[in-house]
Amino acid sequence: MTSLRNAILATITYYDILEMPLTLLEVHSYLINPARFLVRKRAIGDISIFQIAKEMEQLCRINILEEINGMYCLSGRRHIYKLRIGRQLLAAKKWKKFLRYVSWLSLVPYVRGVFASGSMALNNTNLESDFDVLVVIQSGRLYSGRLILSAWTSLLGIRRTKDDLIAPDKLCFNHYITDGNLKINHESLFNASTYARLIPVKASNQIYFSFYDRNGWINQYVYHFKPVAHFPKRQAKTYSWMEKIGRFGESILDTWFGNVFEYISRWYQQKRIRENPATYAQGGRIVFNDSELEFHPYSFEAYLIGNYNSGLKKLGIMPFIEERDSGLLAGPISMMIAN
């Protein structure tokens, strides 16, 4: 099946850009949807791990892929095997620190979910890697929740700030959504692959499954993705005294005072965002409205998608539609603001 072979090569090419060879199980789990390589759309049906193994065996036989100790990469890229092993060992150490940090977030009012993202979710970290997180905050308290979260983690010295060129082992709060609007509107292969790999480190079953229920579009890009029934894979420790303090803070803010505080927090933060030159940087996206805050002024997405498309061409793969980024700022200013 040509579309399956192309999807396998596309998947390995995508993760090759991240210098990450994949196991057979990972190729099956992360498989880019074969329908993206079909001119005429049709039902694909079930794709077993045995079908993928057979295709990959043939690709190794003709020297398009190489296999090293159960991991697969493009021919001539064997060196990334050692990179991945080293990064996995480093990630194991970073996870211990990361989960300790997340435990302290129980003290913050209105935090409803914390998901590990980026290199941490892939266990593909280097020494300079920070901790990318997606934060879910209660609807109607997005700006006050963010302000308190930023203040608390700054006080602890564990938050990455805009002035940090690199911030090893610090929390990077680059994306917030509310529990009343969990839908991600910026669809792309990059975002689908990112959100399919999120690891809930502080989230209820309801938040976890509701998030993926609202984002069924992920399967248009990642064929076999489905949220795991028995989560979490990793979970930050929760302490009852911390959660009681967090709930006490909410009881104070669930009043007219909290409404005023949210209004002022919103006005102040949106003013600062509008006045920040990075908001208008090409190649990124800043979103600030009442249900989402996203801060990716210099996104890695354009680089990855550009190299992915080039990599497919080198392999002689011509998808029906070339992959694009999720709508990064490339020309005239077009901020995504909704009141």
pLDDT digits (tens, 9 = 90+) for 22-45: 999 999 999 999 999 887 677 678
pLDDT beyond 80 at 225: yes
pLDDT beyond 60 at 121: yes
DSSP H or E stretch at residue 150: helix 142-156
pLDDT beyond 90 at 337: no
For 169-194, b/e burial (b = at least 16 CB within 10 A) is bbbbbbbbbbbeebebebbbbbbbbb
Mean of all residue pLDDT scores within the chain: 91
Which residue in 64, 61, 82 sits closest to 73, CA to CA? 64
The SS3 call for residue 156 is helix
Q: Is residue 3 part of a domain?
A: no
What range does the domain containing 240 cover? 91-218+229-296
Average pLDDT over residues 107-116: 97
**Structural domain total, the chain:** 1
Which of 106-120, 184-198, 232-246 is predicted least confidently?
232-246
Q: Is residue 158 part of a domain?
A: yes
For 223-246, b/e burial (b = at least 16 CB within 10 A) is bbbebeeeeeeeebeeeeebeeeb
Q: Give pLDDT, residue 334.
A: 35
Q: Give pLDDT, residue 43.
A: 66
pLDDT beyond 60 at 243: yes
pTM for the model: 0.91
Q: Give pLDDT, residue 335.
A: 40
Q: Is residue 269 part of a domain?
A: yes
Q: Is residue 137 part of a domain?
A: yes
Asked if 90 and 42 touch (Cβ cutoff 8 Å), the reply is no
Q: Is residue 57 part of a domain?
A: no
Q: Give pLDDT, residue 332.
A: 35
Which residue in 67, 61, 51, 73 sits closest to 1, CA to CA? 51
Asked if 200 and 232 touch (Cβ cutoff 8 Å), the reply is yes
DSSP H or E stretch at residue 245: helix 240-253
Q: Can you tell me the distance from the alpha carbon of 213 to that of 3, in angstroms, rounded to the nearest whole number?
A: 27
Q: Give pLDDT, residue 338.
A: 38
pLDDT beyond 80 at 250: yes
DSSP H or E stretch at residue 203: strand 199-203
Q: Is residue 71 part of a domain?
A: no
pLDDT beyond 90 at 215: yes
pLDDT level of residue 1 (50, 70, 90 thresholds): low
Q: Is residue 20 part of a domain?
A: no
Percentage of the residues of the chain whose pLDDT score is greater than 90? 79
Q: Is residue 241 part of a domain?
A: yes
Q: Give pLDDT, residue 229.
A: 64
pLDDT beyond 70 at 68: yes
Pairing of strands 131-137, 171-178: parallel
Q: Give pLDDT, residue 38.
A: 83
pLDDT level of residue 307 (50, 70, 90 thresholds): very high
